[in-house]
A and B are shown apart, each in its own frame.
Chain A
Amino acid sequence: MSAFAQETLVGDFSDLKSPLSEEEALVQADLCLQCGGVYATAPCTVACPADVDVPTFIAQIAAGDPGAAALTLFEQNILAASCARVCPVEVLCQASCVMNSQDEAAIEIGRLQRFAADWAYANGVAPRKKAAANGHKVAVIGAGPAGLACAGELAARGYTVTVYDERAEVGGLIRYAIAPFRQHTEPLPAEAVALAGLGVEIKLEAKIDSKKALAEIEKEVEAIFLGIGYGEDVLVKTPGDDLEGVWESLPFIEALKDGNPPQVGRRAAVIGGGNTAMDVAREALRLGAEEVTVLYRRTQAEMPAFYHEYEEALEEGVVFKWLTLPVAFKGENGRLTAVECQPMKLGEPDDSGRRRPEPIEGADFDLPVDTIVKAIGQRPREEFLSLIDGLELEWGRIKINPETGQTTNPKYFAAGDAINGGATAVQAVGGAKVAVAGIEAFVQGEKR
């Protein structure tokens, strides 16, 4: 990308994927082949972790009824509006679209979903009908995508639901960690209003940090859903961590989304090879950095980031240094000036099956930077999880019965990042739906 093009990105946090106009939506919807029917399910629906009936909602848009399309969406995914923005459709529904086999662009399912869901909120369409109260009470901990989806589903079925979250606003990582050019805050406020309309009570800035506090909740409800996600960034101690200009990814993005954009200076580096690293690198460009370098200790082939995210970052001018391990941050007067890098080579495969990076002795160098962001991943909320009796973990993840979402403490159910170690919002929604069925069976069974 030319310097000129890169310059035009500065300060531009507008949506990467613009909303469709009504006419564009009609045209796009008309292109859909309407797969599915009496035999095999449409591949897009199969690919959707939330089981959205894609052909049906698209047909409803094509028929000029976006309201009906939205209801089809909400039927399976009460957070359809947010998911329309943050879903990696390129690797889910749109990747499976039959059009790909025709050397044609996939139907823009994500943008069509946004069109219908936004239309619904703009026109006062309630996502779901509220069932009569059934007397059962459930608590949901965490107002991220898993928690909100679970709360909404349960409320729509007549449950009395209270959601607890430690932050000031709903949305979890969608609100605080998804890049602003994917989703800023909208449509979370509308979704929160819609959930409130279903009777969900949301308690914000309600941190549960003691067994006592948890016990009080346990006393009130028949089941508790854990949509707590992961916690802070993985703890990797590096000499120079305390220098000004060294960031961890979550506070970095949160500052940006809260309207206090970090001063990145002229040169920024991002450590890591995941989707968050890609987001942060592209944010740094938009914050005015002229050179943004991603440092990753393995190669492109091992990067966990989606390939299309890597490609888009590359197109925007992000530079990638493979097989590069940052070993120390250097500074002057308490301010970061450079990162010391250790070039690596790939050795024998490690436990994960990936070839283990090994240092190339004597090849280390200093990369001058003004800002560095560590985007290596999050760590489990072990402290909080230790408050729950009988809760078993696997690799720091909550162990559940995949059929029911039930944890090893029968009263607790879970979904989302806390059980899968960090995935997509729509997978959180899908998992929450499994847990909702599990919770229903659990509490109804108990009564019987």
Chain B
Amino acid sequence: MSGLRPWQELSPGGTIRPTDAEKPKTGSWRTGIKPLADLSKCTNCLLCWLYCPDSAILLEDTTFVGFDDYFCKGCEVCAAVCPVGAIEMVPEETETPAGWVMRSDESGS
């Protein structure tokens, strides 16, 4: 287990701060499918944002703007919870047409 920190360097009880949490690139876990949103259907209820287990739903202020390529692991939860059927899982290689959002951020920040 190289690269892991010794007990002395861990905060009591394992409290994590955003700054000292490592950022595993869960986006690399996707197995061939990714979510895409049809914005014309999106009512911005943000259930996808509430449910996403990897905080991969991107917002600007309180408006849905897309998915975070770095974190989205393709779990399909967003598509399952979307009450208006605006999110669909598509093959990874699907091109992103206009009105469908997919954002990639290699830095993960």
Residues of A near any B CB (own CB < 8 A): 33-43, 98, 101-102
Question: A34-B62, A98-B83, A101-B83 in contact; A39/B45 too (CB < 8 A)?
Answer: no
Taking a contact as CB atoms under 8 Å apart, the answer to whether B44 and A39 are in contact is yes
A40 to B41, CA, bound (A): 6
In the complex, chain B residues 46-66 whose Cβ is within 8 Å of any chain A Cβ:
46-47, 62-64
Taking a contact as CB atoms under 8 Å apart, the answer to whether B43 and A102 are in contact is no
Which range holds the interface residue count of chain B? 10 to 19
Taking a contact as CB atoms under 8 Å apart, the answer to whether B63 and A38 are in contact is yes
Question: A33-B46, A33-B47, A102-B47 in contact; A39/B83 too (CB < 8 A)?
Answer: no
- B84 within 8 A of partner (CB): yes
Taking a contact as CB atoms under 8 Å apart, the answer to whether B45 and A33 are in contact is yes
Between A and B, 24 residue pairs with Cβ closer than 8 Å are A34-B44, A34-B62, A35-B44, A36-B43, A37-B44, A37-B62, A37-B64, A38-B63, A39-B39, A39-B40, A39-B41, A39-B44, A40-B40, A40-B41, A40-B44, A40-B86, A42-B43, A42-B45, A98-B43, A98-B45, A98-B47, A101-B83, A102-B47, A102-B81
**From B46, which residue of chain A is reached at the shortest CB distance?**
A33
Residues on B with C-beta less than 8 A from A35 are 43-45
Question: A34-B62, A98-B83 in contact; A41/B47 too (CB < 8 A)?
Answer: no
Residues on A with C-beta less than 8 A from B41 are 39-40
Residues on A with C-beta less than 8 A from B86 are 40
Taking a contact as CB atoms under 8 Å apart, the answer to whether B84 and A43 are in contact is yes
Residues of B near any A CB (own CB < 8 A): 39-47, 62-64, 81, 83-84, 86
Question: How many whole Å from A53's CB to the nearest CB in chain B?
Answer: 13
**From A37, which residue of chain B is reached at the shortest CB distance?**
B44
**From B42, which residue of chain A is reached at the shortest CB distance?**
A39
Question: How many whole Å from B61's CB to the nearest CB in chain A?
Answer: 10
Question: A43-B84, A98-B83 in contact; A37/B63 too (CB < 8 A)?
Answer: yes
Residues on B with C-beta less than 8 A from A33 are 45-47
Question: How many whole Å from B78's CB to the nearest CB in chain A?
Answer: 13
**From A102, which residue of chain B is reached at the shortest CB distance?**
B47
Residues on A with C-beta less than 8 A from B39 are 39-40
Residues on B with C-beta less than 8 A from A37 are 43-44, 62-64
A98 to B86, CA, bound (A): 13
Q: A33-B46, A40-B86 are in contact. List 10 more A-B contacts (CB 8 A).
A: A33-B47, A35-B43, A35-B44, A39-B64, A40-B41, A42-B43, A43-B83, A98-B47, A101-B81, A102-B81
A63 to B44, CA, bound (A): 20
Residues on A with C-beta less than 8 A from B83 are 43, 98, 101-102
Residues on A with C-beta less than 8 A from B46 are 33-34
Taking a contact as CB atoms under 8 Å apart, the answer to whether A40 and B84 are in contact is yes
Taking a contact as CB atoms under 8 Å apart, the answer to whether B43 and A38 are in contact is no
Taking a contact as CB atoms under 8 Å apart, the answer to whether B62 and A40 are in contact is no
Question: How many whole Å from B52's CB to the nearest CB in chain A?
Answer: 15
